[in-house]
Chain A
Amino acid sequence: MTGTVPVVELAGAGVVGPFPLVSYLDALAQFLRPSTLAGVFVRGLSKAALYVMIASGLTLVFGLMGVLNFAHGSLTMVGAYLGGLVMVLSVTAATGTALRFGLFFVAVLVTFGGLVALESAVEVSLIRPLYDRPPIYQILLTFGVTLVLDELVRIVTQFYGLQPISEWQEALSTKPELLTETFRLGSTTVSALSLFEILFGVVTVAAVWTFLTRTRYGLVIRAGSEDSEMTEALGIDVRRVFATVFALGTGIAGVAGALLMWDPVWGASVPLAADTLLPAFVVVIVGGLGTFRGTVVAALLVGMVDAVTTWWFVNAVEFSGLPEIFIFLILVVTLVVRPQGLFGVAEVGGH
């Protein structure tokens, strides 16, 4: 989750050891260079793009029906394997760059459709009968779905020898050569994959934003996310809207999974489920449960903090686990200072 960041040699001393103040000042000077800041900014944007794709479905589903879907990360992981499967089956060593991109878009469509179908089946058969129960039932159920999905994928991947814990290398190798390269952008170099992820994130945000603000269905979703009981009392079948949002949100998370399949930092693996679920929850809670605008802003905030702390704890302090701690620190501060999140509203409609 923390990403691989080029380690910068500081003032000839290598990575800074514990507590040498001068070296920290050197690191600060290095960090404040425009080229470093630009590089960190782009990496932050690419993380934010992935977080917003994974978290947007989660927040809308909670806002509408109060369902906290613990299976969301597992569905992203299934998306990574599904996208990888399409690529591995269709790409050969002779496949050119353009065709690989074309096949990736086919994989995105297959993943989106597959995840929509899978989530619709889960929603109709398992979640719908529990709508009127207290939230703990849905939490336990979706947590159970996570365990079942993770184990199913683990069994299948072990059976086919795909190494369920480490990244699926065969899927990673279907990435076009172009996306393994770095480009000069102003004073800094950025990876083509980061730009590709940012592009996907921007397109997703624009599409969801347009859907939510320019269509009647989107208007209903925004109203239902704020107060589902009041929306139902206006003659709108909120459960049907919810089923649609559940399916679409999962489809988008699946597409994010397909993107992650090509990202060497993540890759298709069973632990991807938990690795994506935790930051997604942080983004959703920090932004405010049920608000897409909050999710976008929180994804940017978490992505940037992740990128900045990753740089510092790779280049200035050798402790790569710390960036994750900072992400959860954002969560703790938000819950203490503004429990409803940046754009959340006070409790309405029963949740």
Chain B
Amino acid sequence: MSLLQVDDIHTYYGESHILEGVSLSVAAGEVIALIGRNGVGKTTTLRSVLQLTAPRSGSITYRGEELVGKRTHEVAELGVGWIPEERRVFSQLSVAENVRVATPKGGDVDAALELAYETFPALSERRDADAGALSGGQQQMLAIARGLVGDNDVLLIDEPSEGLAPQIVADVAEAVQRAAEEATILLVEQNLPLAMDLADRFYLLDNGQVVEDGAATRGVTDDDRIRRYLSA
């Protein structure tokens, strides 16, 4: 049985029809890559799951519970975490405060800080610095740490390697792998080899629809049909 099930969702921005019947399923413990060109609806799919951009029709269930119609904080409280595009750390809060605010109410803040610093020692050294003063790679680590301490069973990770230097991308890939030990992951990633290395399965989106899905292997990147979708 899937942990997260998306069935035939249609999502709009104003009158623009972005998702035209996307369906996918994510089983517990899996890492699923959502791939496709820019603007095909990958980020919108994640935003739809979180109800940040609610679908006008279709169904999204998490552990069998319908998410459509809930508010975003209610979805998050169920255990669905978000590591968004461009990190979106709270730049005027310190590293420690970013972790504290992500710790669920009544949760053990000390344990959360310990988990964050153990997973990313680089954050420990800069715990009192404003998050806005961190490098791009450190901000990405902080964004992932925020997802980890939130008691999330599913993490929706959007473009974690975007805008980072190759060496930093390797660190972030390692961080995503560590996150995968704790949670199920739905990963949006433009870097196809990286996505295939990290994921168990993939869904390929084009024009707001799933056009291909299957096991994630390096061979997928050589498939002519998939390359056509990604390079068009």
- Could you tell me which A residues sit within 8 Å of B by CB distance? 216, 219-220, 222-223, 226-227, 229-238, 291, 343, 345, 348-349
User: Is B105 close to A, CB under 8 A?
Assistant: yes
Closest to A294 in B: B92
Q: A229: which of B52, B91, B104 is its contact (CB, 8 Å)? A: B52
Q: B88: which of A230, A236, A291 is its contact (CB, 8 Å)? A: A230
Q: List 29 A-B contacts (CB under 8 A).
A: A216-B100, A216-B105, A219-B97, A219-B101, A222-B92, A223-B93, A223-B97, A226-B90, A226-B91, A226-B93, A227-B90, A229-B52, A231-B101, A232-B71, A232-B72, A233-B50, A233-B73, A233-B81, A233-B84, A234-B73, A234-B146, A235-B73, A235-B76, A235-B104, A235-B150, A237-B71, A237-B73, A345-B91, A345-B92
**A348 close to B92 (CB less than 8 A):** no
User: Is B77 close to A, CB under 8 A?
Assistant: yes
Convert B139-156 into 0s and 1s, putting 1 for each residue whose CB lies closer than 8 angstroms to a CB of A. Answer: 000000010001000000
Apart from the given pairs A219-B97, A233-B81, 10 other A-B contacts in the complex at a CB distance below 8 Å: A219-B93, A227-B88, A229-B72, A230-B84, A232-B76, A233-B50, A234-B146, A236-B73, A236-B101, A343-B92
Closest to A219 in B: B101
**B92 close to A291 (CB less than 8 A):** yes
Interface of A is mostly: helix
Nearest CB of chain A from residue B88's CB, rounded to whole Å: 5
Closest to B143 in A: A230
- Cα A223 to Cα B88 in complex, Å, equals 11
Q: Chain A residues near B101 (CB, 8 Å)?
A: 219-220, 223, 231, 234, 236
Nearest CB of chain B from residue A85's CB, rounded to whole Å: 40
Nearest CB of chain A from residue B192's CB, rounded to whole Å: 27
Q: Chain B residues near A232 (CB, 8 Å)?
A: 52, 71-73, 76
Q: Chain B residues near A233 (CB, 8 Å)?
A: 50, 52, 72-73, 76, 81-82, 84
User: Is B31 close to A, CB under 8 A?
Assistant: no
Interface size class of B (residues with CB under 8 A): 20 to 34
Closest to B87 in A: A230
**B76 close to A219 (CB less than 8 A):** no
User: Is B210 close to A, CB under 8 A?
Assistant: no
Q: Chain B residues near A229 (CB, 8 Å)?
A: 52, 72
Closest to A348 in B: B88
- Cα A2 to Cα B98 in complex, Å, equals 42
User: Is B102 close to A, CB under 8 A?
Assistant: yes
- Cα A231 to Cα B77 in complex, Å, equals 12
Convert B51-74 into 0s and 1s, putting 1 for each residue whose CB lies closer than 8 angstroms to a CB of A. Answer: 010000000000000000001110
- Cα A223 to Cα B146 in complex, Å, equals 13
Q: Chain A residues near B104 (CB, 8 Å)?
A: 235
Which 7 interchain pairs have the tightest Cβ spacing?
A235-B76, A233-B82, A232-B72, A235-B77, A223-B101, A237-B73, A230-B88
Nearest CB of chain A from residue B117's CB, rounded to whole Å: 18
Q: Among B71, B76, B101, B105, which residue has the most Cβ atoms of chain A within 10 A?
A: B101
Instruction: Tell me whether A219 and B100 are in contact in the complex, defined as CB-CB below 8 angstroms, given that A229-B52, A233-B50 are known contacts.
Output: yes
Nearest CB of chain B from residue A344's CB, rounded to whole Å: 10
Q: Chain B residues near A234 (CB, 8 Å)?
A: 73, 76, 101-102, 146, 150
**A222 close to B90 (CB less than 8 A):** yes
Closest to A350 in B: B52
Closest to A291 in B: B92
Q: Among B82, B90, B102, which residue has the most Cβ atoms of chain A within 10 A?
A: B90
Q: Chain B residues near A222 (CB, 8 Å)?
A: 90, 92-93, 97
B residues 82-119 in Cβ contact with A at 8 Å: 82, 84, 88, 90-93, 97-98, 100-102, 104-105
- Cα A82 to Cα B132 in complex, Å, equals 43
Nearest CB of chain A from residue B100's CB, rounded to whole Å: 6
Nearest CB of chain B from residue A284's CB, rounded to whole Å: 16
Closest to B83 in A: A233
Closest to B109 in A: A216
- Cα A292 to Cα B52 in complex, Å, equals 27
Q: Chain A residues near B52 (CB, 8 Å)?
A: 229, 232-233
Nearest CB of chain B from residue A197's CB, rounded to whole Å: 29
- Cα A235 to Cα B50 in complex, Å, equals 11
Closest to B156 in A: A233
Q: Chain A residues near B71 (CB, 8 Å)?
A: 232, 237
- Cα A229 to Cα B88 in complex, Å, equals 10
Nearest CB of chain A from residue B103's CB, rounded to whole Å: 9
**A223 close to B150 (CB less than 8 A):** no
- Cα A6 to Cα B185 in complex, Å, equals 69
Closest to A229 in B: B52
